[in-house]
Amino acid sequence: MMSKLIPTALLLLFTSFTAFAQAKSDTDIYPYRVTSIDKNEMQVINTGIAAFYARIDMIRRATTSLDLEYFIFNPDSSGRIIIKELIQAANRGVKVRILIDKSIAVFKLNEYYAQVLKQNNIEIRYYNAAPLFRISSSQFRNHRKLILRDGAEAITGGRNIADEYFNLSKTFNFLDRDIWVEGEIVNAMNDTFNLYWNSEIIQIPAAIEKPERIITSVSEDEMKNENDYQFKLTTYTKKLAEAQELIRETPEDIKNLAFANSYGKKSLSEDTKKHSCPEASFATDREGASFLQRIHTKNYSNSYRILRKEISEWMAKVDDEIVLDSPYFLNDANSIKIINDLLSKDKKITILTNSLASTDAIYVSTVYSDTVIQYTPNKNFNAYTYKGKFSNESEVISDEVRNSNWGTHSKTIVFNNNSFMIGTFNIDNRSNFYNTEMAVFCSGSPELANDVLSNIKIRMKSSNHLDKNARPDDGTDLLAGASTKKKILYYMLKIPAALFQFLL
């Protein structure tokens, strides 16, 4: 399919192919799949508030460009703080672009917010605005998470932009993980952002027009038109006022920013260090996937589902044990084959995932037990489910945050004691077949791998280990810690979730 965007894309690819000519391997599909053996600096970011400060710090140091791409971007305290920092960057001449997935389930930054951002020199676009009645096409979400500074450094991982990803929510928080990268592979990450930004399925937000009063000579019509006008005007005024709140500073924002500037900064510099990665890889799925593309593209899987192939190849690096940290653990034919192959070779598999008490996706929890019980009888398979309480791995801003519900949201694989992956890929059908995902891989750095593995082990201490019957081996109930409401929904959703597991 021809497009006016093709010349731009070709220029991007030609320039980048030249830059990467010596680092490229036979399996590279630039910029979607790249290996680099040149210097790439990395830092593992485990703590939420440290991850928040890392993004703020990147924005403050930007001189030419800032590109942000997220599945979720909420106008809560963390979102407002990030936006205000971006506005300051735009005011000093930095080009700022934000790409947000327009999934009806999580989308918040509507056209009213887009208008406020545009007035402050920030450009925003939406990815895949397919309406819900287009059931299949609307499933192809952009699940990538990325912030780029000046095309020179980047952060990716499991975190979206919302309070719960930065240890700031008073009700529910995620234990997550990011990777900061500076070096050659950032070029590919930057180029994929541009390809997504110019995708054929992006939407430029429409301008918001103030409602106009319709004058008519018929009194009955006039009354109806006036009522309609007043309703539209009220809605317009309310939504515009809500959007304006995005750029206003609140006492909560001041407090959270101060905590990020103090403890977040300290944690970022002290908890983990920057290290060189001898062999770095970046992989992402191709943009523009839709129901029609899936039908009409010859060998759709090879053309679009690129990240899972990279993960599969990295499985060859497993020496003795592979450790997976994922909020969901749902298998398909591909992952079943990989797990069975590893177990047949006497490799150990350890998985950390959520329990009903710690998940925000009850429907996934309903089918988890049936999935994991296939493997728990094997002595080389170890499953841990997070209990739902804070792991005490860092300071938090308040007791309310500490006492909230907690769950794991990390998307991490440790292949051996010096090789790992951090990205946006969950072990579920959505990441395998529908969502576009991305990840950074590193091999040859025991220091970086240890920063990942040691943190996973801390979180395992706040988890239940499952016995051969897929039950907590300390005798507690599988649903322990979950609210009554969650338990009711768990049983109500069990049959529907099993029937529609291919969409989970």
Span 22-70, pLDDT tens digits: 334 446 799 999 999 888 999 999 999 999 999 999 999 999 999 999 9
Instruction: Say whether both 110 and 90 belong to one domain.
Output: yes
Residue 22: inside a domain: no
**Would you state the pLDDT for residue 216?**
65
Residue 262: inside a domain: yes
Average pLDDT on 237-248 reads 95
Instruction: Say whether both 170 and 291 belong to one domain.
Output: no
Average pLDDT on 178-182 reads 98
Instruction: Say whether both 176 and 130 belong to one domain.
Output: yes
Which uninterrupted H or E stretch holds 498? helix 484-499
Q: What is the pLDDT of residues 135-147, one digit of tens each?
A: 667 889 999 999 9
pTM for the structure as a whole: 0.91
Amino acid at site 309 = K
Helix (H, G, I), strand (E, B) or coil at 9: helix
Average pLDDT on 237-256 reads 96
Residues with Cβ within 8 Å of 412's Cβ and at least 6 positions away in sequence, in order, are 177, 324, 325, 326, 420, 421, 422, 452, 456
Which uninterrupted H or E stretch holds 494? helix 484-499
pLDDT exceeds 70 at position 10: no
Closest among 82, 79, 86, 43 to 65, alpha carbons compared: 86
**Would you state the pLDDT for residue 217?**
56
Instruction: Say whether both 490 and 438 belong to one domain.
Output: yes
pLDDT exceeds 50 at position 172: yes
pLDDT band at 285 (very low <50, low <70, confident <90, very high): very high
Of 221, 240, 270, the residue that ends a domain is: 270
Residue 206 DSSP code: P
User: What are the DSSP calls for 111-171, one per residue?
Assistant: HHHHHHHHHTTEEEEEE----TTSTTGGG--B---EEEETTTEEEEES--BSGGGTT--SS
Residues with Cβ within 8 Å of 101's Cβ and at least 6 positions away in sequence, in order, are 70, 71, 72, 107, 126, 127, 128, 141, 142, 143
Residues with Cβ within 8 Å of 177's Cβ and at least 6 positions away in sequence, in order, are 44, 45, 46, 157, 158, 325, 410, 411, 412, 422, 452, 455
| Parent domain of 439 | 282-503
Residue with tokens 């979180």: 459
Q: What span, in angstroms and rounded, lies between the C-alpha atoms of 396 and 344? A: 43
